Amino acid sequence: MSNVPVNPKPVPEINAHSKPYWDGAQRGELMIQRCRGTGKAFTYARCWSPYDFSPDPAWEKASGRGTVFSYTIVYQPPYAAFKADCPFVMAIIQLDEGPQMMSNILHCDPESVRIGMKVKLCFETRSGGFKIPQFEPA
């Protein structure tokens, strides 16, 4: 009998642009990018800045701290692999560095989550030991 779940949660497809982000996650770090021209931080991984379209933005380690900007509680799983997690929180996190990112909030009662709540980085381990950045109450 195998220890692999029948419906394992997906892991991302990594490309050249997202590789530094996912490499950081495997080290237990949250990596974000910063525009070299404007100095503004951003997420998701890109090969150019969304602010001035300059190529090759810089990668840096984020603090892993943020605030709940918005959220919803998910009661119906989007895929069978998420059924055991329901209900769970899907949130937009305003990172202390400025950009926003979508994430789950783990390790708390979904009903306790509030806009403005302080959160910190944690990781969910999926198939093959792959780490997914998530957040939990700070």
When computed from its CA atoms, the radius of gyration of the chain, rounded to whole angstroms, is: 16
> What pTM value is reported for the model?
0.92
In 10 A of CB 84, how many CB atoms? Answer: 11
What are the C-alpha distances in Å from 104 to residues 29, 33, 39, 86?
16, 21, 28, 12
pLDDT tens track for 78-135: 999 999 999 999 999 999 999 999 999 999 999 999 999 999 999 999 999 999 999 9
Domain ranges of the chain: 15-62, 63-138
pLDDT more than 90, % of the chain: 93
Please name the CATH architecture into which domain 63-138 falls: Beta Barrel (2.40)
